[in-house]
Amino acid sequence: MARLQQRVEQRLRPARALGVGARQQQHRLAVLRPEGLHVQLDRRPVTHRSEGTPSRRSGTPGASVLQVPARHQHPVKVRFYELDPYGHLNHSVYVQLFETGRIELLDSVGLGLHDLEERGYRFVVSRIETRFRASAVGGDALVIETEVVENRRASSRWGQRILRGDEVLATQEVLAAVTDTDGRPVRSPDFMAEALAPYTNDPDDEGDA
């Protein structure tokens, strides 16, 4: 123990010679206590950064905070005339509800279908894949969740789900494209990507898929 105290004293001498205060020394050096050796860590806050990597949509270079994109939510209620002969929400209605969810998201960010038409663009669906997990019945309160899974220059991929509380009743993946008013495929305009950014997994991804 005496030898260990001597080592600590030797380490303290250079700090004293440089005028380092006792409190600063305690932040950096090990001090002896009766129960043995106790290490006291520097309590000053440390900001962890990833060099040269900006945080996602944070605008702060080097910050390591990852912001998760939001899902647009639209509540609906199952109407009795939408039921099939078995008393369940008809499968075709799910497709309509998913479309309603996408249109509501577009409207919420200023990309309503009529507005796009006036600017010379149309938003069209090229592929839909729907999976059914559970049945809804008349009077059920549902929520349609919609997000843009991937936004490319020539196409976008959308992910959706319909929930009853925490239970997922159905999911849908949609591949969509942008055309001009004559139906010819065109590159998605920058203003569309910017408007969809809050609901997009990676709004900075500008590939040519």
Residue 84 near residue 135 (C-beta atoms within 8 A): no
Q: How many CB atoms lie within 10 A of CB 167?
A: 11
Q: What is the pLDDT of residues 151-194, one digit of tens each?
A: 998 899 999 999 999 999 999 999 999 999 999 999 999 999 99
Residue 3, pLDDT > 70, answer no
How far apart CA 164 and CA 98 sit, in angstroms, is 14
**Class of the CATH domain delimited by 72-199:** alpha beta
Read off the pLDDT of each residue in 76-97 and give the average, rounded to a whole number. Answer: 97
Read off the pLDDT of each residue in 101-115 and give the average, rounded to a whole number. Answer: 97
Q: ∠ at Cα 188 (185, 194), nearest 5°?
A: 165
Q: Tokens standing for 157?
A: 């991929």
Read off the pLDDT of each residue in 23-33 and give the average, rounded to a whole number. Answer: 42
Positions of CATH 3.10.129.10 in the chain: 72-199
What share of the chain has pLDDT > 90, as a percent? 61
Burial class (CB in 10 A: 0-12, 13-18, 19+), 72: buried
The overall average pLDDT reported for the chain is 77
Q: What is the pLDDT of residues 113-128, one digit of tens each?
A: 999 999 999 999 999 9
Residue 126 near residue 180 (C-beta atoms within 8 A): no
- What pLDDT is attached to residue 46? 33
- What pLDDT is attached to residue 71? 94
Read off the pLDDT of each residue in 36-56 and give the average, rounded to a whole number. Answer: 35
What order of strands is seen across the sheet that includes strand 167-179? 72-77, 141-151, 156-164, 167-179, 122-132
